[in-house]
Structure 1
Amino acid sequence: MSSPPAIDIRSLRVDYGNFVAVNDLTLQVPPGEVFGIVGPNGAGKTSTFRVLTTLMEPTYGEVILSGVDVLEDIESARRIIGYMPDLAPVPSDLKVWEFLDFHANAYGIGNRAQRRDRVAECLEEVDLTNQRDSWCNKLSRGQTQRVVLAKTLLHRPRVLILDEPASGLDPLARRDLRHALRKLAATGATVFVSSHILSELAEMCTSLCVMNRGKLLASGTVEQVREQLGSNERTLTASLLSGHEQAAEWLSAQPAVHDLQRSGQQIIFGYKGSDESQADLMAGLVRLGVRMRAFEEKRSSFEDILVEVAESNRN
């Protein structure tokens, strides 16, 4: 039998007066996933997180985390949730271990020796053991984010909810954070992470969803999301050794081809069609008898897809 979802959101709606922030959101995330939620400002990400973390009540709907009804049993839900808000502050007058020990004590984690051991474990999980005695105000942005993540892990939450954890991080820090989250998921924890940068989540997550104006538009793996959003636009480049004029004339007559241009031995054009029809296009060029050296594809970036989604949903 399959395990129940770690995150089970059913018909969630959040209203602010006449404004609908989250509109009938239904979503399930299995245990051990790094699951991303992406969307432009106003998509409903923050409101969804506020409900999941028991910081607000929805207009209606259900939220069940690892079998616990968040709206009916807030205290039990809080014991299994680890929440890392965007740009979470750390005190400037504490060392890293002092900051973590303070929160371990607040969580009621054993005696001093047990807290020391748990702090050491969490620092190791985020690869910051060598920063144990550093002052918090001397840490880099990436190190600070990982210290806050270590704090979030202290009470061994089964569901981690991270709001824009990679915001402002350089590529090396994002890589370190990505590795840390995947290590956590490998232990069975479920990580629910938000971002407005789709390519960032594509690198970090095992699966993701896209929201806009409160509605769920797509969910699944990166490729499944791309397919669900119907973004099959791509740029194709045919590098030819002969038959350039013949190939350009034939391609221009194909219904899915647009913006064709020649550059030396290359013919570059936009194409919007299925993978099967693209294969037929290549076969057609071969039948023409042109000598083709290469046929390259460049798909729309995830940022382009998100911009297209946002623009298509404007009034």
Structure 2
Amino acid sequence: MGIIAADEGTIDFLGKEIDFRNPSYKKHIGYCPDYPAVFENLTVYEHLNFMAHLYGVKDFKSLNDKINKLLYYFEMEKYRNIPIKQLSRGNKQKVAIIASVIHEPKLLVYDEPTLGLDPVALKQFKTILTDFTKTGGTVFLSSHLLNILEEIADSVSIIKEGKLIKKNVPVEEIRSTLTSMEDYLLSVVEEGD
């Protein structure tokens, strides 16, 4: 995401190497951290509108329609004109998730995005991700909730103490060899000890 300067290596994205000094690549990425990264003094609508404009969205009619559709989908329309600071943790997280997709990115990067979501919102979130990948989008999702990864991921990579120890293991392969994602993770981590 360019939040922390890289120590080494390069990242290729959309067919070319990312130049972190030129943040134009960010308009193609939606990001949602594990805490609701929102402007709490803005209303829900103001925040979503502002975020879309930061990403370069210029079609105001289309943007307004998209905001309305996503607020309705996440059952947030009644909070449209409410300052975000008045929302619950889960509703703030919904606003952050909506903001991550409002500009129709090609890549979603999520770090524990489901914290604070109730079961209905969790199902809505999983559906959004499934629909996003069906249209060619890519999702990087970091989570300790292995059951969610098992339900929605195509492949899994495992990081232990900052080192990549398994890369792009197909979820179907995990399902065919072990009983759960948890069993797989534990076997990989214990293998390295």
TM-score w.r.t. the length of structure 1 is: 0.52
Q: 1:130 to 1:82 in 2, by over 3 A?
A: same
Structure having the higher strand fraction is: 1
1:203-214 → structure 2 map (5 Å cutoff): 203-213=151-161, 214=163
CA–CA distance in 2 between the matches of 1:62 and 1:91?
Answer: 31
**Does structure 1 residue 186 correspond to structure 2 residue 137?**
no
CA–CA separation in structure 2 for the residues paired with 1:66 and 1:152? 18
Check whether the contact 1:122–1:151 (CA below 8 A) recurs between aligned residues.
Answer: no
Q: Which amino acid aligns with 1:161?
A: V
**How many residues are matched?**
192
SS across alignment from 2:36: coil
- Who is 1:217 aligned against? 166
Letter in 2 for 1:79: K
Distance in 2 (CA, whole Å) between partners of 1:129 and 1:204 is: 27
- Distance, in Å, in 2 between the alignment partners of 1:97 and 1:183 is 23
More helix by share: 2
Shift of 1:89: 3.4
State the TM-score, normalizing by the size of structure 2: 0.79
List structure 1 runs of 4+ shifted beyond 4 angstroms: 111-115, 124-127
For 2:173, give the aligned amino acid.
Q
CA distance in 2, matches of 1:56, 1:71: 14
Aligned partners of 1:85 and 1:163 also within 8 Å: yes
| Root-mean-square deviation over aligned CA pairs | 2.9
Output the amino acid matched with 1:76.
S
Point out where structure 2 has 5 or more consecutive residues left out of the alignment. Answer: none
Larger Rg over CA atoms: 1
Matching of residues 275-290 of structure 1 within 5 Å: none
Alignment of 1:232-251 (within 5 A): 232=178
Provide the residue aligned with 2:120 in structure 1.
172
Identity of aligned residues (%): 31
- Report the Cα offset of residue 128 of structure 1: 3.8
Match 1:62 to one of 7, 10, 13: 10
Counterpart residue number, 2:190: 311
Gaps of 5+ in 1: 1-52, 233-298
Distance change (3 Å), C-alpha of 1:126 and 1:71: farther
TM-fit CA distance, 1:165: 0.7
1:89 aligns with 2:37: yes
> Which whole-Å CA distance do the structure 1 matches of 2:189 and 2:165 have between them?
12
SS of residue in 2 equivalent to 1:93:
coil
Report the equivalent of 2:148: 200
SS in 1 for 2:108: strand
2:168 & 2:14 partners in 1: Cα distance?
20
